[in-house]
Amino acid sequence: MNSVSMRKAVGTHDETEPRVGHDGTMWRIRSYEAATTVLRARHQTTQAGFTAEKIPRGYFRQHPILISDGDDHDVQRREVARYFAPAVVSAKYGDFINKRAQALVDSALANGRLRLDEAALNYSVEVTAEIVGLTDSPIDAMAKRLVGFFRQPPVDLAAPAMGRTRRQWIQAAVNGLVPIGRFYISDVRPAIRARRDRRRDDVLSHLLSAGYSTADILVECVTYGTAGMVTTREFITMACWHLLTNDELGRRYTEASQPTRLEILEEIIRLDPVVGHLYRRAQADIEVSDNGCPYTIPEGDLIDVCVRQTNTDPQAMGAAPETVIPGRDLRRGSAATGLSFSDGAHTCPGQPLALYETDALLHKVLATRPRILREPTISWDNVIEGYRLRGLDLSLMTRSRPVTTRMTT
């Protein structure tokens, strides 16, 4: 396959130089080598993204997995990882995912058109809710509540008070707490009650058995809901947009077996990562290097790992890093998705699920020979430092035949 230019979105701080640089106490890392050193620097950094440093620690027995660090975080990850392992996703949840994807496509065929970003939201929420255990409330209503978490004032982690005025912090609290309250009452509490009566094989049942408090469980469910379900919506929309605006790539994807399809999706998310910046706080001096040039990041400094730039670093990604080359010849130690799912202790455990469910839906959508009626608009969410795609309208041309998707492990 010839390499094809792919990048569709342009994020904040998209300069490619310097590869390692700083302005006062703020470091920006655009070198894959230096970035992985930072992300793998166990006990030397702590999570600073997603306004983690403003979240109080005294209210929880277990600190939320997204923002915790150290040995407790490692234990949490090991306990939860089994629910998202590739073999588990395929064997245990594969039929459910494929049936939900086919039902979505069949419904769209009956209407003759599909608003993909809206359909992808409900689909990704339903899939993740099945694994987490949030299955005791209507999916469409829960999806709307989850979207409410993202209505936040702008934030700048490098600025004093994160760039927010006192009024904006009050607004952020209101915009966060009101959806959390609704999410708890309507979605989390019913699921907890059902599983207190009878445990099931899902994340929520595990948390109950491990002695997590109601507050702990609520925050974990918020984490999976916002970091897992809603961001997958953006990836599904972005990947579909790429495949439908590049005839060669779309044809290759439609005709390929699943391993090749996953390689194509890995390249798309490498070039257009949903989360474009990963932030860490140095808790000790950190030594990094880029192409033999050493740097020392002092204790206390804030570090911005610029994912979009590290993912196109030719020293890690090889030839033509700005183009899609499924199965590309990566440099040793580089991940096919770059740092789109982070690295080190905070590597996203939901990566196999995100790729699997995206492929399950898009393979079926593309089998209908869709046509774009309206291209999506791009906006930016600077809380998660990622893009937001809205309004991708498709016309579906022909009835699809059921497609069975199985993950190869």
- The string of pLDDT tens digits covering residues 208-256 is 998 888 988 888 888 887 777 778 999 999 999 999 999 999 999 999 9
Task: Give pLDDT, residue 16.
Answer: 73
Q: Is residue 406 part of a domain?
A: no
Predicted confidence (pLDDT) per residue in 47-92, tens digit = 876 555 566 555 545 555 555 555 665 666 677 778 888 899 999 9
Predicted confidence (pLDDT) per residue in 135-178, tens digit = 999 999 999 888 887 777 777 777 776 677 888 777 777 777 78
Task: Give pLDDT, residue 349.
Answer: 85
Is residue 126's pLDDT more than 60? yes
Q: Is residue 35 part of a domain?
A: yes
Q: Is residue 132 part of a domain?
A: yes
Task: Give pLDDT, residue 4.
Answer: 59
Task: Give pLDDT, residue 403.
Answer: 47
Task: Give pLDDT, residue 405.
Answer: 53
Task: Give pLDDT, residue 64.
Answer: 52
What domain range is 265 assigned to? 4-395
Q: Is residue 108 part of a domain?
A: yes
Domain count, the chain: 1
Is residue 409's pLDDT more than 50? no
Is residue 401's pLDDT more than 50? no
Task: Give pLDDT, residue 57.
Answer: 58
Q: Is residue 400 part of a domain?
A: no
Q: Is residue 409 part of a domain?
A: no
Is residue 305's pLDDT more than 70? yes
Predicted confidence (pLDDT) per residue in 170-185, tens digit = 777 777 778 888 999 9
Is residue 390's pLDDT more than 60? yes
Q: Is residue 403 part of a domain?
A: no
Residue 281 belongs to domain with CATH number: 1.10.630.10
Task: Give pLDDT, residue 386.
Answer: 84
Predicted confidence (pLDDT) per residue in 13-55, tens digit = 567 779 999 988 889 999 999 999 999 998 898 887 655 556 6
Task: Give pLDDT, residue 82.
Answer: 82
pTM: 0.88
Q: Is residue 8 part of a domain?
A: yes
Query: Closest Cα partner for 206 from 216, 67, 229, 356?
Result: 216
Predicted confidence (pLDDT) per residue in 256-294, tens digit = 999 999 999 999 999 999 999 999 999 999 999 999 999
Is residue 206's pLDDT more than 80? yes
Task: Give pLDDT, residue 170.
Answer: 79
